[in-house]
């Protein structure tokens, strides 16, 4: 009888110990899980804060970036407007003659190119000078004229090229050349007349300098001075075996 009662008490004590052990394990598990969740939430919160901070610092959400982008767009629009205004001014503004045209006709006071009748000798002469900064008036019927023309072509290279006007083949060429001779007080009518930017090279001096190779450098210097910035004149290199 005593043994049965002792066994019952022992079993009850064992069950109580098991219950307490299970209860302790459960409580410990709750505490452990709560700590894990708390650490995870804190870590997630820190990551979210860092992510938001970095995104605000570098990303498209940054107010400073929005301002910089607006400033850049504003500058581009202002530049485009300035370019557009300049183009409009160029289109609507009065057209001006190039400086080279002004220099080319400064001695004969040509303001603009006008259509000329065949009998308007003075107007025809001005129109010829207007067409090119380098003009050579020649006579194909005169051997001396063709010789000097060939010598000039063989000695110097010009850009733009020389505009050659043959008085023997030009309408009213005789009257035109008479007008030029009278205007510049020229006596010899067999020598071609060279004009650079509206200024005539003395024909006798041109003939003399072309015939003498030692004077080619001085002649080139004078031609270059008359050519200014709108005419390029160079001396041709003649091979030594020629």
Give the CATH number, domain containing residue 135: 3.40.30.10
Tell me if 149 is assigned to some domain.
yes
Same domain, 114 and 6: no
Q: In this structure, what token pair is assigned to residue 165?
A: 């006007």
Place of tokens 């005593």: 2
Q: What is the mean pLDDT of residues 68-77?
A: 66
Q: What is the mean pLDDT of residues 1-14?
A: 59
User: For residues 59 and 53, what is the distance between their CA atoms, to the nearest angstrom?
Assistant: 9
Nearby residues of 160 by Cβ (< 8 Å), 6 or more positions away: 132, 133, 134, 231
- What domain range includes position 82? 2-92
pLDDT of residue 120: 82
Place of tokens 């205007």: 183
Position 91 pLDDT exceeds 80: no
Give residue 228's region: left, alpha or beta (phi > 0; psi -120 to 50). Answer: left
pLDDT of residue 34: 62
Position 160 pLDDT exceeds 60: yes
pLDDT tens per residue, range 208-230: 999 999 999 999 999 999 998 89
Tell me if 97 is assigned to some domain.
no
pLDDT band for 193, please (50, 70, 90 cuts).
very high
What mean pLDDT, rounded, does the chain reach? 74
- The H or E element spanning position 35 is helix 2-58
Domain final residue pick, 73, 92, 111: 92
List the one residue out of 233, 234, 230, 235 whose CA is nearest residue 132: 230
pLDDT of residue 10: 64
- Burial class, 191, CB count within 10 angstroms (exposed 0-12 / middle 13-18 / buried 19+): buried
pLDDT: which is higher, 227 or 47: 227
User: For residues 143 and 207, what is the distance between their CA atoms, to the nearest angstrom?
Assistant: 13
Same domain, 131 and 214: yes
User: For residues 158 and 98, what is the distance between their CA atoms, to the nearest angstrom?
Assistant: 19
């Amino acid at each position: 009888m005593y043994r049965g009662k002792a066994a019952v008490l022992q079993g009850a004590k064992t069950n109580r110990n098991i219950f307490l052990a299970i209860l302790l394990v459960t409580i410990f598990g709750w505490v452990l899980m709560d700590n894990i969740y708390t650490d995870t939430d804190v870590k997630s919160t820190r990551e979210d804060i860092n992510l938001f901070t970095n995104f605000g610092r570098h990303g498209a959400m940054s107010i400073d970036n929005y301002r910089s982008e607006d400033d850049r767009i504003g500058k581009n629009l202002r530049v485009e407007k300035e370019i557009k205004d300049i183009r409009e001014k160029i289109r609507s503004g009065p057209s001006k003659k190039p400086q080279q045209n002004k220099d080319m006709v400064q001695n004969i006071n040509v303001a603009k190119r006008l259509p000329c009748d065949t009998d308007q000798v003075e107007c025809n002469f001005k129109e010829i000078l207007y067409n090119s900064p380098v003009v050579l008036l020649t006579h194909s019927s005169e051997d001396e004229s063709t010789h000097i023309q060939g010598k000039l072509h063989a000695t110097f290279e010009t850009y733009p090229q020389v505009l050659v006007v043959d008085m023997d083949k030009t309408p009213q060429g005789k009257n035109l050349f008479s007008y030029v001779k009278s205007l510049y007080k020229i006596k010899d009518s067999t020598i071609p007349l060279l004009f650079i930017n509206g200024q005539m090279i003395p024909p006798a001096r041109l003939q003399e300098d072309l015939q003498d190779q030692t004077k080619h450098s001085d002649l080139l210097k004078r031609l270059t001075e008359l050519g200014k910035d709108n005419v390029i004149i160079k001396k041709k290199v003649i091979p030594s075996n020629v």
